[in-house]
Structure 1
Amino acid sequence: MARRAPRYAEAKHNDRALLEAARKVLATDGAHASVAAIAARAGVGIASLYRRYRTKEELFQHLCALSLGQWIQAAEEGLAQDDPWEGLVHYVTAAIEFSAGALGPLAGTIEITDEMAAKFTRSDELTRALVDRAHEAGVLRADVTTVDVSLLVEQLGKSSLVEQFEVQGRTDLAEAAANARHRVIAIALDGLRAGHGSLPGSPPGPGLLAERW
């Protein structure tokens, strides 16, 4: 057990690095992102990567499950807050910050594992609970659905100005870019508040996001 502990810690560290790298590479390269590019960005050897994951698909399936786990954690933390609005804000902000929707380009390109399906269901249940609670409290506009919130998170969680400057090595603009991102998130959150006019079109169906997978 003692000998396995360092290897387990290293594996967890590599998982986090791979997930962060995959989000950034997928944001620019889409579903054609190579394992080599992800491994290089994560600082993980490609040989050691393939010793753990037999195929590219297996790696992406694992990363999707990890990402869904972060969605779940953010939603659980939001529900743990007493204030329905602050709980929803926490969830949306946290999910955007860790680029929850960045693995979207993988939709329809890999087989859904049982773990992915179970975590997606759980994530959807928790997000719905956050939205329902905010509706009941009268703080969330009545025509906003769970799918609307998930799509908002996905769109704002894609490659940001912060990451674009990071790729360019423009550390001098990192703080200004982060501030601009926080402002955009605040603007989007304000648009979710009750009291605004009606949204255009009809509400997206509950299966819209799941269908692409």
Structure 2
Amino acid sequence: MTSPPMSGRRRQAARNDELILQAARAVFTADPGAPVAAVAERAGVGISALYRRYPSKDALLQKLCYDGLQLFIKAARDGLALADPWEGFARFMRDVVDYDSHSLTIALAGTFPPTEELYREAELAARLGAEVFERAAAAGVIRPDLVVDDVSMLLEQLASVKLGDEARTAALRRRYLALMLESLRHRPGAPPLPGPPPSREEIEGRWAYHG
């Protein structure tokens, strides 16, 4: 059964919402401290139209973070759907980088008060990501001195590669991910990694809101 067509007003509202989210993603991933007015200007909509949909900057940031978590969750589930543990892990890593989910989650963490829904989705994302990692570790296909929080930090480093040009940024991120994947795969006789991995407190502490 098909849905009835939207009225002209509803189509315009949906279009405005899409423009606002696209603009917010570009503005806030570049500068989380930017004003909401910069989003409205980039989207080409009035500030009143933006506030009708998102009553505050926090609400807009919460939506972006939620969307980023959904992309991460999808990447993890798609990786787990592959039978081969290494291919599942590599697929997960590639999808997270291509979706740029870390720019919508970690990069914005601490800049707005998280909701209970965001906490739940973040816990689900962490659990599924750990499952992808642990399956590969159990199969012996990734280096034994690696922990799942190392992977989080590596993905964050890849998300920091930004050149302004989206296509060039995406190409370089894939290039460096390919290098990372080669180094993450288990190689007998490889020297151990120096120093301890990040702690759970170090990873989770970045989500603390200090507004």
Paired position in structure 1 for 2:193: 199
**1:145-203 Cα shifts (integer Å, max 9, x gaps):** 11111121122123523xx135xxxxxxx5x6654432212011111111232112102
More helix by share: 1
Q: How many residues end up aligned between the 2 structures?
A: 202
Q: Is the 8 A contact 2:20 2:50 kept in 1?
A: no
- The reply on whether 1:210 has 2:201 as its aligned counterpart is no
How far apart are the structure 2 equivalents of 1:154 and 1:194? 22
Q: Could you tell me the percent identity over the aligned residues? A: 41
Paired position in structure 2 for 1:165: 165
How far apart are the structure 2 equivalents of 1:188 and 1:15? 37
- 1:47-196 paired onto structure 2 within 5 Å: 47-103=48-104, 104-161=106-163, 164-165=164-165, 174=167, 178-195=170-187, 196=190
Q: 1:88, CA displacement in angstroms?
A: 1.0
Aligned amino acid, residue 165 of structure 1? D
**1:51-102 Cα shifts (integer Å, max 9, x gaps):** 0111111111121111111110110001001111111111111111122221
Quick one: structure 1 residues 10 and 153, their matched pair in 2 at CA, closer, same or farther if it must change by over 3 Å?
farther
Quick one: structure 1 residues 131 and 115, their matched pair in 2 at CA, closer, same or farther if it must change by over 3 Å?
same
How far apart are the structure 1 equivalents of 2:131 and 2:183? 20
Any stretches of 5+ residues in structure 1 without a counterpart? 167-173
How far apart are the structure 2 equivalents of 1:146 and 1:12? 38
How far apart are the structure 2 equivalents of 1:46 and 1:120? 30
How far apart are the structure 2 equivalents of 1:13 and 1:115? 25
Q: What is the Cα-based RMSD across aligned positions, in Å?
A: 2.6
Any stretches of 5+ residues in structure 2 without a counterpart? none
Q: Scaled by the length of structure 1, what TM-score is found? A: 0.81
Quick one: structure 1 residues 206 and 177, their matched pair in 2 at CA, closer, same or farther if it must change by over 3 Å?
closer
Q: Scaled by the length of structure 2, what TM-score is found? A: 0.82
Quick one: structure 1 residues 102 and 9, their matched pair in 2 at CA, closer, same or farther if it must change by over 3 Å?
farther
How far apart are the structure 2 equivalents of 1:11 and 1:144? 47
Quick one: structure 1 residues 101 and 94, their matched pair in 2 at CA, closer, same or farther if it must change by over 3 Å?
same
